[in-house]
Amino acid sequence: MNILIIGSGGREHAMAWKIKQSPLLNQLFIAPGNAGTSFIGTNLQVSVSDFQGLKNAVLDNQIDLIVVGPEVPLCEGLHDYFSSDDQLKNILFVGPHKLGAQLEGSKDFAKEFMMRHHIPTAKYLAVTSGNLNSGIDFLKTLNAPYVLKADGLAAGKGVLIINDLQEAEDSLKDMLNGQFGAASSKVVIEEFLSGTECSVFAITDGKDYRILPVAKDYKRIGEGDTGLNTGGMGAITPVPFADETFMRKVEDRIIRPTVQGLIKDQIPYNGFIFFGLISCGGEPMVIEYNVRMGDPETEAVMLRIKSDFVDLLIGAAEGTLAEKSIEIDPRTAVAVMLVSGGYPGPYLQGKVISGLEQVKTSMVFHAGTTQKGGDICTDGGRVLAISSYGETIKQALELSYENAGFVHFEGMYFRKDLGFDL
Ligand code: AMP
Ligand code: GLY
């Protein structure tokens, strides 16, 4: 079959690499893709939010299956657009409709869903300018630090964690007054949960689900988890503390109730669910849902899926996941992100990347790259993921660090302490 991946990051390159190995694949397309995806498929110059452009691309290239990487087109209703078009409605589609995508698109929707289905999560209150005083009263019932979340999508920047009560009240008002635009016209105030985080992924057809390898990502720019938040500086899978006992609790208390909840609420859902979890003394709680795979987790997770990924995608899209199985590689896999100098602040751009041909024992997934003439150049804050297998976390990381040493671009930075906490 002909497959189209929508997106342009390391996640999409890693998916492309895995899909490319499937005997079910005929031609692979990526819209818009990056320099890395252009080596294994055909990049189509269409943006992820250009529905008409995507429709044309799908029809021109006789696409049979679409898999959506990022959340934005899903929250904008790309699946709904396909379902309601006579020429497109029979094309297999992996990614939820707009309604299901609200699990990520609205923190309040996600919290109400979890409450309704008794899924463990932090106590919360949703606040708008209409009930600001209740919000302030609720803050006073909590202990510091205070967690304030913009309800809508805010490119990963909409969560504030504040130590001082007065400051939290002020921030609440700022958010409601448009600090994150329309995304923070509603704010979710949450109890702070303390523990260790991990990312659990499932793929579902809305009835059955399969659990993908569990991972941990490293969000802060600095070593020892210090400094500003980034899109993710690296990932490790599996996660030692997410052992069989923990994962059984996750499945029983979180994954199954979530899929059952979607059924009860009559929310059709074909796609990935990303459970952002925190282990509070061994008890899993949900920090957030995402309606897509994680980035950079995917750049490690894809290495551990041994079975045919396309077969799983077909199962999720067609509603035949009950017939599909997933086989997981027992080895460890890691992804180390190489980022641009200055990132996550204003960063250097358009720098020539050299040494990629010397990387032989790791996979290189492109995140923010572009081709200029004969050169591959940086084209984003997060530039490349160097992904490796190992028998241990240490071994896999050493291999990624060794191969990162061959790669060069001006201002290149990466964290050398991934896994320090595991
Ligand atoms: P989110 O965008 O919901 O994933 O939040 C971003 C980050 O904020 C999470 O990865 C956590 O590290 C942190 N966070 C969010 N909610 C809480 C909470 N209730 N307690 C503690 N940390 C939180
Ligand atoms: N790695 C976290 C995310 O993709 O949101």
Output the domain CATH number for residue 128.
3.30.1490.20
63 C-alpha to ligand 1 centroid (Å): 38
User: What is the distance in A from the centroid of ligand 1 to the CA of 113?
Assistant: 18
Residue 405: inside a domain: no
Interior/surface letters 216-229, b for 16+ CB within 10 angstroms, e for the rest: bbbbbbeeeeeeee
User: How far is Cα 313 from Cα 117, in angstroms, rounded to an integer?
Assistant: 27
Question: Which amino acid does the sequence have at 117?
Answer: H
Tell me the pairing of strands 28-32 and 3-7: parallel
Residue 46's domain spans which residues? 3-97
Are 91 and 152 in the same domain?
no
Q: Which residue in this structure is represented by tokens 């061959």?
A: 406
Q: What tokens were used for 197?
A: 């985080």
Give the closest residue to 95 by CA, choosing from 267, 271, 258, 309: 271
242 belongs to a structural domain: no
Residues 28 and 40: beta-carbon distance below 8 Å: yes
66 shares its domain with 148: no
**Does residue 90 share a domain with residue 8?**
yes
Residues 52 and 90 in one domain: yes
At 192, is the secondary structure helix, strand, or coil?
coil
**Residues within a 6 A CB radius of ligand 1:** 122, 147, 149, 159, 190, 192-193, 197, 276, 287-288
- Residue 16 sits in the same domain as residue 92: yes
3-class DSSP assignment, residue 154: coil
Residues 93 and 160 in one domain: no
Domain boundary residue among 174, 190, 206? 190
Listed residues 190, 218, 234: the one ending a domain: 190
φ, ψ for residue 139, nearest 5 deg: -55, -40
C-alpha–C-alpha distance, residues 281 and 353, integer Å: 44
Helix (H) or strand (E) segment spanning residue 394: helix 393-404
**11 lies in a domain?**
yes
Please, which residues bridge with residue 354 across strands?
Answer: 408
| Length of the chain counted residue by residue | 422
- pLDDT at site 66: 98
Of all protein residues, the one whose alpha carbon is nearest to atom 14 of ligand 1 is 287
* Dihedral over Cα of 226, 230, 234, 235: its sign: positive
- The count of domains in the chain is 2
Averaged pLDDT, groups of 10, the chain, 422 residues long: 98 98 98 96 98 98 98 98 97 98 97 98 94 94 95 88 94 92 92 96 98 97 93 96 97 98 98 98 97 98 98 98 97 98 94 97 97 94 98 97 98 95 84
In a domain? residue 105: no
Nearest alpha-carbon partner for 200 in 221, 217, 188:
217
CB atoms within 10 A of CB 55: 18
Phi, psi (degrees; rounded to nearest 5) at 48: -65, -20
In-domain check, residue 164: yes
Pocket test for ligand 2, best of 199, 337, 418 (most atoms within 8 A of CB): 199
**Residue 310 φ/ψ, nearest 5 degrees:** -65, -35
> 19 with 76, same domain?
yes
Answer yes or no: is 342 within a domain: no
Residue 167 belongs to a domain: yes
pLDDT of residue 156: 75
Task: Detail the DSSP E strand segments found in 291-409.
Answer: 332-339, 363-366, 369-372, 375-378, 382-390
Specify whether 88 is located in the same domain as 130: no
Q: Is residue 294 part of a domain?
A: no
Q: Which residues line ligand 2 (CB under 6 A)?
A: 217, 232, 290, 294-295, 297
Instruction: From 156, 190, 224, give the residue that closes a domain.
Output: 190
Q: Please check whether residues 72 and 147 belong to one and the same domain.
A: no
Indicate whether 29 and 88 sit together in one domain: yes
What DSSP element (H or E) covers 204? strand 196-204
Whether residues 140 and 91 fall in one domain = no
CATH of the domain at 77: 3.40.50.20
